[in-house]
Amino acid sequence: MQLMSMIEDMAKKAKLASRRLRRLERAQKDAALRLMAARLIERQADIIQENKKDLSKAREAGLSPSMIDRLALDETVIQGMANGLEEVAALPDPVGEVTETWERPNGLLVKKVRIPLGVIGFIYESRPNVTVDAASLCLKSGNAVILKGGSEALSSNLILAELLGESLKEIGLPPEAIQVIPSTDREAVSVLIGLEDFLDIIIPRGGEGLIRFVTSHSKVPVLKHYKGVCHIYVDEFADPDMAKKVVLNAKVQRPGVCNAVETLLVHNNIAGEFLPSMSDLFRNAGVEIRGCPKTVKLVPWAKPAAKGDWGTEFLDLIIAVKIVSDMEEALDHIEKYSSNHTEAIITNDRERSQTFLAEVDSSVVLVNASTRFNDGNQLGLGAEIGINTSKIHAFGPIGLEDLTTTKFVVEGKGQVRT
């Protein structure tokens, strides 16, 4: 009950703050972001000290070395956060843009004007630097944000939010624009996603279980993806060398992320030429192959794929490989198993690539490029706060502009409806 009233109180304050933020000029927001960057550097000793509390708790709790590594803040990471703030300050301000304008036969002048969403609830399990990234994108787009980070990062997140809030205050802006929920209680998520009177959108990032829970129970609209089961289809008209380079990159450059490739589909006519040398590259990179029967014939060291391997997000140096008799079979496979995240075709045939790009129902579809490019920065959005595989609002990477919406502004001369 105490938790509920505390979070509701935070949400009310966030909504009040958002009313101020709605009308901010770009210069004020950028000044705040730059001041925040300076504060993080000035106060890095304090940040590192608070972070040490999280680290020692994490060690006591027996967290894995890789998790502890993700949690640790040092001068380099803090400098990275400060740079990120400067970069967001340098991005254009989406708010206030008139996206369309037209006149009605009765003389009404109609405009669509870009406005902030209002209050964003951001739920995440990641490194503490995500706190700063997310807060900066929300502020730049004129939104207040309530952050619910992983409990293992609470002390770090609280000091970061405190410094960001101090910077806001110093510049005359409401510190409640950026608030971290000061609780490790998992119930906090349930409370937050019920507050539809104060929150406009929830963005959850983390494990599939968390995101399914949020999606099932939230009264606030949710932008999210459950997982990235990304496919690459190597067509019979592919350049085999390009195909190998792209597929290898998509699998091994960072296997633990959502835009890494999980299933490789290979056209039967190129499989004999392509797969043996591709599999050598995989073996050298330590990638395990789980193949269809035809694949296993061509690559004797490959494991036979189990049924459950299709559509699985391995997040690891594992790839499922299937030989298909034509592109239609590849498209059917993707239609069945894709997570609507990212799929690519490798081909030099223009008709094939255009059909693939048109047919595949994913947020990012690529020809002759790595799936790893589904990323706000890589695609040129400047930054992203997540990736959305539901079709609403912003399908794909959620950039600054996607943290806004448009309202209709109508100017008349006394028109009435007849």
Minimum Å gap between C-beta 119 and its own copies is: 10
Nearer to its own copies, 158 or 346 (CB): 346
DSSP character string of 125-169? -S-THHHHHHHHHHHHTT-EEEEE--GGGHHHHHHHHHHHHHHHH
Q: What letter represents residue 356's amino acid?
A: F
- 201: three-class secondary structure by DSSP: strand
Q: Does position 395 bind its own copies by CB under 8 A? A: yes
* 381 φ, ψ (degrees, to nearest 5): -80, -5
Q: Select from 362, 382, 385, 386 the one that contacts its own copies (CB under 8 A).
A: 362
Nearer to its own copies, 263 or 353 (CB): 353
Nearer to its own copies, 130 or 331 (CB): 331
Q: How far apart are CA 334 and CA 339, in angstroms?
A: 9
Q: Which stretch binds its own copies (CB under 8 A): 34-42, 228-236, 283-291, 391-399?
A: 391-399
- 274 CB neighbour count, 10 Å cutoff: 24
DSSP character string of 251-266? HHSSTTSTTSEEEEEE
Q: Does position 110 bind its own copies by CB under 8 A? A: yes
Site mask for its own copies (CB under 8 A), range 119-138, x = bound: --------------------
Q: Does position 392 bind its own copies by CB under 8 A? A: yes
Q: Which of 340, 371, 337, 367 is nearest to 355 (CA)?
A: 367
Q: Does position 271 bind its own copies by CB under 8 A? A: no
Q: Which residues contact 256 (CB under 8 A, 6 or more apart)?
A: 315, 316
Residue 113 structure tokens: 């004007």
Segment 299 to 338, residues that bind its own copies, using CB under 8 A: 335
Q: Does position 261 bind its own copies by CB under 8 A? A: no
Q: Does position 374 bind its own copies by CB under 8 A? A: yes
Q: Is 56 exposed, middle or buried (0-12, 13-18, 19+ CB in 10 A)?
A: exposed
Q: How far apart are CA 157 and CA 54, in angstroms?
A: 10
Segment 198 to 227, residues that bind its own copies, using CB under 8 A: 200-201, 215-216, 219, 221-223
**Residues 84, 68: contact at Cβ < 8 Å?**
no
Q: Select from 334, 364, 383, 398 the one that contacts its own copies (CB under 8 A).
A: 364
Segment 399 to 418, residues that bind its own copies, using CB under 8 A: 405-418
User: What is the contact surface with its own copies in residues (CB under 8 A)?
Assistant: 19, 22-23, 102, 104, 108, 110, 115, 117-118, 196, 200-201, 215-216, 219, 221-223, 239, 242, 245-246, 249-250, 253, 335, 353, 357-359, 361-370, 372-374, 378-380, 390-393, 395-397, 405-418
